[in-house]
């Protein structure tokens, strides 16, 4: 799956969070800031809610057929 460069359409989607090509975690995107360069991943199991800033080198890959809706 290709990485998403425009984060505005990711709210409610299940995604992979990557940095330097390595998988950091997966999760559902709770919200995306209006500037589309920061998003929140929801808390899951033992993982806390996570703030992700594109300027820190993170990339996002949407996972197929998975959403909160």
Beta bridge partners, 29, equal: 41
Tokens 């990557």, located at residue? 18
Q: Which of 11-15, 27-31, 41-45, 61-65 has the lowest mean pLDDT?
A: 61-65
CATH code of the domain in which 13 resides: 2.30.30
Domain membership of residue 1 (yes or no) is no
Residues with Cβ < 8 Å from 1, sequence gap 6 or more? Answer: 16, 61, 62, 63, 64
State how many domains the chain has: 1
State the average pLDDT over residues 37-53: 93
Instruction: Please state, for a pLDDT cut of 70, what percent of the chain lies above it.
Output: 88
Closest CA to 49 of 18, 66, 25, 33: 25
Q: The whole model's pTM is what?
A: 0.81
Q: Is residue 69 part of a domain?
A: no
Question: What letter does residue 37 receive in the DSSP assignment?
Answer: S
- What is the Cα–Cα distance from 67 to 69, expressed in whole angstroms? 5
Segment 10-31, tens digit of pLDDT: 999 999 999 999 999 999 999 9
């Amino acid at each position: 799956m290709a990485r998403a460069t425009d984060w505005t359409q990711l709210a409610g989607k299940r995604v992979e969070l990557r940095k330097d090509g390595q998988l950091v975690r997966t999760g559902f995107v709770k919200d995306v800031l209006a500037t589309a360069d920061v998003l929140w991943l929801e808390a899951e199991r033992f993982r806390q809610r996570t703030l992700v800033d594109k300027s820190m080198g993170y990339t996002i890959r949407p996972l197929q057929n998975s959403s909160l809706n």
